[in-house]
């Protein structure tokens, strides 16, 4: 397989064209090659890879990646190279979510490997320290051990210096302001929380109106730092296309990022429904 290569310049030009035409940017996660192929065919601008998506494709929850059951960066690098890249045509670009706090890997080496396989975009949630509440004991223990948000910012800065498109994610207003100001990312995504719905989703009880309100609050603050920032909405109550449309209607975002909504949940529904029909088949009654 030979997948068409892209570049930072080409990626950003494509995204700016969509913004000028008022067509929403569409980023979607893929845990395997089939999903990546279908996402690209459906019109996704960016296919996102990270260990949480791979675990979802194996029937686990996204947050399983927070436990020490795998080398997150190795999983992302290997399946991006072996499963995702050969499955796409190159119409969509790949953004790899990597773990900037990996104590066993040099980030320059990781970023160079990504570029060598044709990946010219990275994000900081593979996983991020920000998945943990700041007032929790585990957050305090991890940060005291050197697992910090600052490392994620440094990785994004390095990636931009290496001519890659950077996608910064933050889970609260404080981190949003810090990462936009210090990393100067090309794209900012406010991660509103784990997507509800399906077998493995988490429903906090938040409404789509509340998700939109929290997201827009962050947008208005970061725009004061970087007025030309490309803003993407993701997570929490944004499960369905209708809820995504609500985010487009009621926030100043330029697009959406789906994970479970276009991967885990549709697969759960389709496979369960079809397999159940097969399971209900019976032999004809004998005379």
Neighbouring residues of 174: CB distance < 8 A, sequence distance ≥ 6: none
Cα 56 from Cα 260, distance rounded (Å): 8
Work out the pLDDT band at 21, boundaries 50, 70, 90: very high
pLDDT value for 59: 66
Per-residue pLDDT tens digits for 204-215: 778 999 999 999
Is there a contact between 164 and 115 (Cβ–Cβ < 8 Å)?
Answer: yes
Those residues whose C-beta lies under 8 Å from the C-beta of residue 222, and which sit 6 or more positions away, are 176, 177, 180, 188, 229, 231
Which one is the CATH code of 8-270: 3.20.20.140, 3.20.20.10, 3.20.20.70, 3.90.10.10? Answer: 3.20.20.70
Q: Find how far residue 128's CA is from the centre of its chain.
A: 11
How far apart CA 19 and CA 232 sit, in angstroms, is: 12
User: Over the stretch 130-188, which tens digit does the pLDDT of each residue have?
Assistant: 888 899 999 999 999 999 999 999 999 999 999 999 999 999 999 999 999 999 999 99
> Whole-angstrom Cα distance, residue 28 to residue 8?
19
Contact (CB, 8 A) for 72 and 127: yes
pLDDT tens-digit profile of 99-135? 999 989 999 999 999 999 999 999 998 889 988 889 9
CB-CB contact of 47 with 26 (8 Å)? no
Q: What is the DSSP string of 76-121?
A: HHHHIIIIIGGG--SSSEEEEE--TT-TT--HHHHHHHHHHTT--E
Q: Across residues 243-268, what is the average pLDDT?
A: 93
DSSP-derived letter for residue 20 is H
> % helix / strand / coil in the chain, to the nearest 5?
50, 15, 40
In 3D space, the residue among 221, 227, 134, 140 whose CA is nearest the CA of residue 178 turns out to be 221
At residue 94 the predicted structure's pLDDT band, cuts being 50, 70 and 90, is: very high
Q: Which residue has the higher pLDDT, 7 or 58?
A: 7
Mean pLDDT across the chain: 92
Q: What is the pLDDT of residue 2?
A: 82
Q: Does 14 score more than 90 pLDDT?
A: yes
């Amino acid at each position: 397989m030979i997948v068409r290569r892209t570049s930072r310049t080409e990626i950003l030009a494509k995204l700016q064209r969509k913004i000028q035409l008022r067509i929403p940017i569409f980023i979607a996660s893929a845990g395997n090659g089939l999903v990546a192929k279908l996402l690209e065919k459906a019109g996704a601008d960016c296919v996102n890879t990270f260990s949480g998506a791979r675990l979802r494709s194996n029937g686990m929850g996204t947050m399983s990646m927070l436990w020490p059951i795998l080398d997150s960066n190795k999983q992302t690098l290997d399946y991006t190279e072996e499963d995702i890249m050969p499955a796409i045509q190159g119409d969509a670009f790949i953004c790899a979510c990597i773990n900037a706090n990996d104590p066993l890997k040099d980030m320059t080496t990781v970023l160079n490997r990504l570029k060598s396989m044709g990946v010219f975009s990275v994000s900081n949630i593979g996983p991020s320290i920000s998945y943990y509440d700041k007032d929790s004991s585990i957050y305090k223990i991890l940060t005291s051990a050197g697992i910090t948000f600052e490392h994620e910012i440094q990785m994004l800065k390095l990636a931009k210096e290496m001519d890659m498109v950077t996608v910064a994610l933050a889970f609260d207003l404080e981190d949003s302001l810090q990462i936009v100001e210090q990393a100067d990312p090309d794209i900012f995504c406010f991660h509103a929380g784990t997507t509800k719905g399906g077998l493995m989703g988490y429903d906090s009880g938040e409404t789509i109106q509340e998700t939109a309100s929290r997201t827009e609050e962050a947008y208005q603050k970061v725009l004061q730092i970087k007025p030309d920032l490309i803003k993407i909405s993701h997570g929490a109550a944004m499960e369905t296309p209708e809820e995504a449309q609500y985010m487009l209607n009621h926030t100043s975002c330029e697009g959406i990022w789906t994970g479970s909504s276009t991967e885990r949940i549709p697969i759960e529904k389709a496979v369960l429904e079809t397999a159940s029909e097969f399971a209900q088949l019976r032999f004809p009654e004998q005379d």
